[in-house]
Chain A
Amino acid sequence: MLAGVLPIAASNALEKPYPGMHFEDEQLLMVIIPRTPEQMAAFYEARGFPQRAIDRVKATCFITVHIDNKGDGITWLETANWQLRSKQQALTILGSDYWDTVWESVDLPQSYRSTFFWTQLPPVVDLHPDEPVGGNIVLPGDTGSFSIEANFNTGADRRGKQIQVKFDNVTCPQDPVTP
């Protein structure tokens, strides 16, 4: 499935039971799906990415995220307001600056950089009512168990009630070892 299509890259048709871990109330749905290195490699290999890029993908941890604004006003997706922690250490999402450097170092053609970009969760979106957003966040591959605390401001001026969503004991799954 993942090799052919990114299932929730921007979907508003996510159906129950939700895959992965999820939070849902009357204002927000947030689903996270940790991916194995082979799952992500298969997706990008199917898009023709060269092996040198696949190797860099497999060295990291991909979490597919789906968020749906179920409220009747603006909800702000701003990953800068998220806190990811492994034990007592803060984790940083590997964003576009990181990947630009990586792709430059492996001389990845622009078409693949573009495809990769659109598969990532955008860092800032003012989500309108009923608007979904989806994509991957990427963390270093040796992260172990960690937590994700996602804070969402609401209202066009960001002064509405803040929504806080926390997922504990998230791990980057590894591929099964084949004998």
Chain B
Amino acid sequence: MKTRLSTLLLCLLVFTAGTPVAADMPLGVMPINGRDAPALQLDNIDGEPYDLASTGGHWRFVHFWASWCGPCRREMPSIERMMPMLAGSELEFVIVNTAETEDEVFSFLGIVAPELVPLMDSDGLVTQAWAPRGLPSTFLVDPKGKIQYLALGDRRWDEPAYVEFLRRLK
């Protein structure tokens, strides 16, 4: 599991193009005001600590989800399929489960996205601080720690429009 953490949760991928402008954005992705990303210090499901503030210098894909929500269950497999498509890029995937137990998370991810190693927001307070519009939600955090984009829930991240959009982040 430690190996998977290093290769997936903290995988760094290298980008080649410029930051997308509004016209380039795929459906459901919105630019927002560039506010500072809230604190995100959590342990992953293996008990290993993670701190978003210590991982600057590249873009972060911060995704909040819970297994009880239907759109989350549909979206999660597409995230797992999308990650290897961005191999060689510089995007870090930060997958945050909201307020569920390890058993609930394991029994869900073990079937639909076994390669993902989520962070565990066990009491839900980190999710609350980030204030997503709902679950699932994805924030794209720039290398300086500012939230630049919000993706509405239930995206199909492995579709070309999303992969290309993420690839252009720089």
Contact = CB atoms under 8 A, between A and B. Distances in A.
Contact of B69 (A9, A109, A128): A9
Contact of A131 (B71, B98, B127, B152): B152
Contacts of A112: 99
Contacts of B128: 114, 117
B98 A118 contact: yes
B123 interface: yes
Interface string A110-133: 111111011100100100101111
Interface in B54-81: 66, 68-71, 73-74
B70 A115 contact: no
Interface string B99-116: 111001000000000000
Interface in A63-96: none
B123 A114 contact: yes
A130 B27 contact: yes
A10 B136 contact: yes
Given A110-B124, A131-B152, A115 B66 contact: yes
A10 B124 contact: no
A8 B135 CA distance: 11
Given A113-B124, A114-B125, A128 B70 contact: no
A5 B66 CA distance: 10
A111 B154 CA distance: 23
Contacts of A12: 71, 152-154
A111 B134 contact: no
Nearest to A128: B30
29 contacts: A4-B68, A5-B68, A5-B70, A6-B70, A9-B68, A9-B70, A9-B134, A10-B135, A10-B153, A11-B70, A11-B154, A12-B152, A12-B154, A13-B70, A43-B68, A111-B123, A113-B124, A114-B99, A115-B68, A115-B98, A115-B100, A115-B124, A117-B128, A118-B66, A118-B99, A118-B134, A122-B133, A130-B27, A133-B133
Interface of A: 4-13, 43, 46-48, 109-115, 117-119, 122, 125, 128, 130-135
A-B pairs with lowest CB-CB distance, top 6: A114-B124, A114-B99, A110-B123, A10-B134, A111-B99, A9-B69
Interface of B: 27-28, 30, 66, 68-71, 73-74, 98-101, 104, 122-125, 127-128, 133-136, 152-154
